[in-house]
Structure 1
Amino acid sequence: MTAQSTGLIHHPYSPPDGFDAPQPGVFKASTVIFPNVAAMRTRDWKSKSGYTYGLHGTPTTFVLEERIAALEGGLQCVLVPSGLAAIANVALALLKSGDEVLIPDSAYGPNRALAEGELAAFGITHQIYNSMNPADLAARIGEKTKLVWLEAAGSVTMEFPDLIEQVRIAKARGVICALDNTWGAGLAFNAFDLDGQGTGVDVSVHALTKYPSGGGDVLMGSVTTRNEALHLKIKLTHMRLGLGVGANDVEAILRALPSIGLRYRAQDHAGRSLARWCAEQPQFAQVLHPALAGSPGHAHWQQVCSLAESAGQGAAAGLFSVMVDERYTPQQVDAFCDALKFFKLGFSWGGPISLVMPYELNHMRDAWPGYLARGTLVRFSLGLEDASDLQADLTQALGRALPM
């Protein structure tokens, strides 16, 4: 007679096949059970043809990987614990001691910090290039250069580079190019086909923390490719680093993913509306939004983002920055941010709550870009509030902290 405790663990019941529902099932596993030794010895986790261990994938993670690959226009994808982990996964998979990586001056700050810290300790060098000058990128590519990072739009400063020309330069020199595509989210443009003629990056990384999650409550990243050999390099490093994601986090993104297009368009619409309004306010010396004429790189944005389905208007994320006129002190700018009620002070973006963050650009750039007005930079991330309420919030904060 089997003991009750054993019977509970080894109960013979198995639910019937054939159940289907709008949301995929959530499978949580470290251990994966094999039916027999032969299956255990022949399963290949790298090809997604079977399951071997929770870290190498479950039905739940496989579904999200395939959907993110489709969203990005790629063929393969791996999931990692954050957007920064995606950047690190790519760097550690493709670079070795003696190699060099090129990073745009507008890049996400931790990408540069990774190069200055861990990569430098591994004997990997880096250079920072002018993201708005393709000739500077071309001049810096040398024999040691093995990876070029691209970013559109630029982190914080929102300039939009000539992605097509940057990719052509890297490809002509046989250098792999990787794009931080968190802003575009797979919706503003196709990173693997920027011009509709096949010109595209080799790797696209994405902070799923932002638009795919949409809730401001999940940390996750992805690395998407179209080349099987390149994907395998990244996936093997992914395995050796032990990078994994939680099933409940995957479930949260799978639930949010069907609405990503609706949310992206709504936040884009609100962002443009408020950016245009901010351009009329005398306290702001400059408004930085790729979709606004006169913003740095606007023509490049039109070139690649007009191909997306967006009623002929081009697509853009719900982010923009303003340069508060230099006649106001940084302390006054901080007071302006503190005076906002609906805009909350916080990092990240893509969630339901609008966010604001002041930045000290002198600490982020080696030199002040010539296309930026002088002043103090503030970035706004649009949530899902009514745009008229957000405009009223900006109005009252300007009146309180930045009087004319």
Structure 2
Amino acid sequence: MSKSDDENLRPATRLVQGGRRPEWTGDPRLGGSVVNPPVWRASTILYDNMADLAARGHATHDKLYYGRRGTPTVWALADALTDMEPGAAGTLLYPSGVAANSAGLLALLAPGDRLLMVDSAYEPTRAFCNGLLARYGVVITYYDPLIGAGIADLITPQTKLIFLESPGSLTFEVQDIPAITQVARDRGVLTMLDNTWATPLLFPALAHGVDVAMMSLTKYVGGHSDAMMGSLTATKAVWPRLRGAAYQLGQAVSPDDCAFVLRGLRTLDVRMARHGENGLTVAKWLAARADVGRVLHPALPGDRGHAIWSRDFAGTSGLFGFTLKGADAAARARFIDALTLFGIGFSWGGYESLVVPSDPIRTATPWSDPDPLVRLSIGLEDPADLIADLTRGFAAI
């Protein structure tokens, strides 16, 4: 057991203590322990004898069995992430966030099942649903992210899963997750949430009724733009299904990448505070400009998701969007090209600031804003410098 198993520890302390089990960080023969779990690289595991082989069974997350089932480096990260979600039975790791989403959907759905997918979902999630999942006979129905308890009207006997993403990573609608999960529980439907924007530090998903919480660890948890990984953290009832599917799909992650992500996890609390503070500073500055149509940031009082965000979230991250009032796609391109501190890149959550053009894809709810949308990931730079850079962008328009 690790020190983080103390239920009274607060989230920031759990981030530091999680996954540091003494059997993974120390060796009595060496007379001490190390702070970080060592990087255990292994494919083949050797057994002492036939009795040892037979006793090991198909062990995982506690004893070495085969490299694909993990080593203490992998288990340390999984344990630390589980510690961050009260009520979780365990966490599985995947090579990317997209891989985690896809594996979770495959594990929980079968041909003929119906999936309710939020209309503001991350584009690769939508692509997987419309492609491979639909080809395997799963029926996908997109729903308005602001539907709340009204989702009850969309549930049929074939509905097995509701997928949520809150806030949406392009248009930043905040879903009423407690209302949706309550309906789901009443109707015997599972729920799965992409919680990458907030992480469990700002929104403990399982405590709000979610059955499976997904994260792209590539983003805020890793935090340094140097590793790709995804995770699924689940309740006791769902955990065995996810674990079995992960093994059948052969999903495995590198222990070196786990060490990078675990390093990032330790500083998540202080980094998220800075991301959120910097992001709000820039968002407020944008909201005051006449050449900005609107700022899509749930922590701003004027945002349509602000009331639910204030009720459910412990803070904000640094990812949000805004529209260029009266501009067109060419003007948006000139704006982005003029920036020097913002890298043009699709990821987010690293220490550096990023910018991308956004063109939402919708099925159930039309995106009717005529102004072009820009997404910003605010990093750890001084916000005054970022604002000066954005001023250059507006000048280019």
Q: Same-fold call, TM > 0.5?
A: yes
Residues 1:121 and 2:135 are matched in the alignment: yes
CA apart distance, 1:116: 0.7
Give 1:82's match in structure 2, choosing from 70, 79, 96.
96
Q: Residues 291-325 of structure 1: CA distance to partner in whole angstroms, max 9, x if unpaired?
A: 001212111101111xx3xxxxxx01111100111
Aligned residue number for residue 40 of structure 2: 27
| Mapped partners of 1:316, 1:375: distance in 2 | 25
State the AA in 1 paired with 2:378: L
State the AA in 1 paired with 2:353: S
Residues 1:217 and 2:226 are matched in the alignment: yes
CA apart distance, 1:139: 1.4
CA apart distance, 1:42: 2.0
Aligned residue number for residue 161 of structure 2: 147
| Mapped partners of 2:154, 2:239: distance in 1 | 26
Structure-to-structure mapping, 1:287-326, within 5 angstroms? 287-305=295-313, 308=314, 315-325=315-325
Residues 1:335 and 2:334 are matched in the alignment: yes
May I ask how many residue pairs the two structures share in their alignment? 370
| Mapped partners of 2:95, 2:289: distance in 1 | 40
CA apart distance, 1:178: 0.5
Residues 1:247 and 2:268 are matched in the alignment: no
CA apart distance, 1:283: 1.1
State the AA in 1 paired with 2:100: A
State the AA in 2 paired with 1:209: T
Relative to structure 1, the CA distance from residue 176 to residue 157 in structure 2 (aligned partners, 3 Å threshold; closer, same or farther) is: same
- Once structures 1 and 2 are overlaid, which stretch shifts more, 250-259 or 175-184? 250-259
Residues 1:57 and 2:70 are matched in the alignment: yes
Give 1:92's match in structure 2, choosing from 106, 110, 117.
106
- Stretches of structure 2 that go unaligned for 5 or more consecutive residues are 1-26
Q: Residues 11-35 of structure 1: CA distance to partner in whole angstroms, max 9, x if unpaired?
A: xxx9934441221111000001111
Aligned residue number for residue 83 of structure 2: 70
State the AA in 2 paired with 1:63: A
Aligned residue number for residue 283 of structure 1: 291
The question of whether the paired residues in 2 share the 8 Å contact of 1:107 and 1:155 is answered with yes
The question of whether the paired residues in 2 share the 8 Å contact of 1:152 and 1:183 is answered with yes
Query: With structure 2 as the length reference, what TM-score do the two structures score?
Result: 0.90
The question of whether the paired residues in 2 share the 8 Å contact of 1:26 and 1:248 is answered with yes
State the AA in 1 paired with 2:357: P
Aligned residue number for residue 384 of structure 1: 380
CA apart distance, 1:146: 0.6
| Mapped partners of 2:229, 2:317: distance in 1 | 19
The question of whether the paired residues in 2 share the 8 Å contact of 1:288 and 1:320 is answered with yes
Percent identity, please: 38
CA apart distance, 1:53: 0.2
Aligned residue number for residue 347 of structure 2: 348
Query: With structure 1 as the length reference, what TM-score do the two structures score?
Result: 0.88
Q: Residues 218-275 of structure 1: CA distance to partner in whole angstroms, max 9, x if unpaired?
A: 1100110121x41111001100100011111011111221101111110000000100
Give 2:120's match in structure 1, choosing from 81, 97, 106.
106
Give 1:368's match in structure 2, choosing from 366, 369, 372.
366
SS in 1 for 2:201: coil
Relative to structure 1, the CA distance from residue 77 to residue 192 in structure 2 (aligned partners, 3 Å threshold; closer, same or farther) is: same
- Stretches of structure 1 that go unaligned for 5 or more consecutive residues are 1-13, 195-199, 309-314
The question of whether the paired residues in 2 share the 8 Å contact of 1:159 and 1:295 is answered with no
Relative to structure 1, the CA distance from residue 365 to residue 145 in structure 2 (aligned partners, 3 Å threshold; closer, same or farther) is: closer
Aligned residue number for residue 273 of structure 1: 281
CA apart distance, 1:367: 4.2
Aligned residue number for residue 400 of structure 1: 396
| Mapped partners of 1:166, 1:400: distance in 2 | 44
Relative to structure 1, the CA distance from residue 316 to residue 45 in structure 2 (aligned partners, 3 Å threshold; closer, same or farther) is: farther
